[in-house]
Structure 1
Amino acid sequence: MINIAIFASGSGSNAQKIAEHFQGSSDIRVSLILTNNPTAFVLERAEKLDIPSHIFNRETFYKSTDVVDVLKNNNIDFVVLAGFMWLVPGYLVEAYPNKIVNIHPALLPKFGGKGMYGDHVHNAVKQAGVKETGITIHYVNEHYDEGNIIFQSKCEVVENDTPQTIAEKVHALEYQHYPNVIEEVILKSLKNS
């Protein structure tokens, strides 16, 4: 059994979609949800899905290896970021080489980097007047949105789109693709190990 940990900072809608995707799997399951936000709605989702959760703070995350210890103690094999806003520290990347993935709500390398998340991205896409946006699923390294790209999917941006309608289109792509791509990446890594 491959155990996934999901890191999320907010609502956790992607975390829920991923957990539900693997509920019927005999090979892969979401075993732990971690958050840096004690009031994040993802904690309620975790409870409803009967998935253990763990809350940590900035000091614990950046000045200790407590988070890796929690992952190892829960036999976590793979880490998924789903709306997690903090930069992943080097010690965590080293503990899970090529086993941490993230989803970004734009077509990297455009509209990526520090501060480019959620509505900030969709506002920037609208202001730039680009004709398409989408999602990028990528491996995580020690820099925001710079890990190797695994998968991208596009959607059209039309003139009367607002940042909110752009967000809706992007969310639909996230829900459609992220769970499947995670599964493909895990199965591929098993074949190569």
Structure 2
Amino acid sequence: MKRIVIFASGNGTNAENLIKFFHNREMASVIQVLTNNPHAKVLDRAKAYKVSGLSFNRVAFTVTDDVLHLLKASKPDLIVLAGFLWKFPQKILNAYPNKVINIHPALLPKYGGKGMYGMRVHEAVVKNKETETGITIHYVNEHYDEGAIIFQAKCHVHETDSAQDVADKIHELEMEHFPKVVEDLLHE
């Protein structure tokens, strides 16, 4: 059985969607959720499905090898960033080449980079009067949102759409496509 570890920083709806999708499946399961926020709702979501949930601080992530050792003990086949806001350390990327992916709420390369996440992205899309936006699932490299693109899905943005309207459309795309793309990657 393939093993998935999820990194998240906040609410955790994408993480929960992945946990539910792979729950009781023979090909893969989410074995752990890791977060840089000890108060993140994602920990409650993981606990509800009896998935291990742990928080860590910046020192454990970037200075020491604590998080890397934790990953090595978990033996993940895929590491999935689902709303994780910190830049991933090179030492973890080196240990798991082409095994760390992220979902971004825009059509990269537009609206990517440091500080472009969540409502900030949707507000920028509306402000710039974009006619379409979407999601991008990509490999993680040493730069924010610059890894090779695996998958994109688009939706229309209407002149009357608010940033919340755009967020709702993006959420639907994430719920529909993210688990399937993860599953396809695990079959490779």
Place the TM-score, normalised by the shorter chain, in its bin.
over 0.9
Give 1:24 deviation, angstroms.
2.6
Q: TM-score, normalised by structure 2?
A: 0.99
Q: Distance in 2 between matches of 1:96 and 1:25?
A: 24
Cα distance between partner residues in 2 of 1:2 and 1:63: 29
Deviations 1:82-128, CA, capped at 9 Å, x for gaps? 00000001001111100011000000000000000001100110011
Q: Residue 155 of structure 1 aligns to a residue in which SS?
A: strand
Letter in 1 for 2:80: V
**Which residue number corresponds to residue 138 of structure 2?**
138
Match of residue 80 from structure 2: 80
| 1:151 and 2:151 are equivalent in the alignment | yes
Q: Which residue of 2 aligns with 1:95?
A: 95
Q: What is the Cα deviation at residue 75 of structure 1?
A: 2.1
Task: Tell me the TM-score normalized by structure 1.
Answer: 0.96
Instruction: Tell me the amino acid that sits aligned with residue 37 of structure 1.
Output: N
Counterpart Cα distance in 2 of 1:21 and 1:67: 25
> Partner amino acid for 2:86?
W
Give, in whole Å, the separation in 2 of the partners of 1:171 and 1:163: 12
Query: Which ranges of structure 1 fall in alignment gaps of 5 or more residues?
Result: 189-193
The answer for the alignment partner of 1:191 in structure 2 is: none
Partner deviation per Cα, 1:102-156 (whole Å, 9 max, x = no partner): 0000000000000000011001100111100000000000110000000000000
Partners of 2:7 and 2:134 in 1: how far apart?
Answer: 21
Aligned-pair CA distance for 1:27: 1.6
Q: Which residue of 1 aligns with 2:42?
A: 42
Cα offsets for 1:16-39 (capped at 9, x unmatched): 000111113112110000000000
Structure 2, unaligned stretches of length 5 or more? Answer: none
Query: Within 2, Cα distance between the matches of 1:96 and 1:77?
Result: 9
Answer yes or no: is the 8 Å Cα contact 2:77–2:186 preserved in 1.
Answer: no
Aligned residue pairs, count: 188
1:76, distance to aligned residue in structure 2 (A) = 1.7
Runs of 4+ in 1 over 3 A off after TM superposition: none
1:65 and 1:79 mapped to 2: Cα distance? 17
Q: Distance in 2 between matches of 1:54 and 1:72?
A: 15
Q: Amino acid of the residue matched to residue 31 of structure 2?
A: S
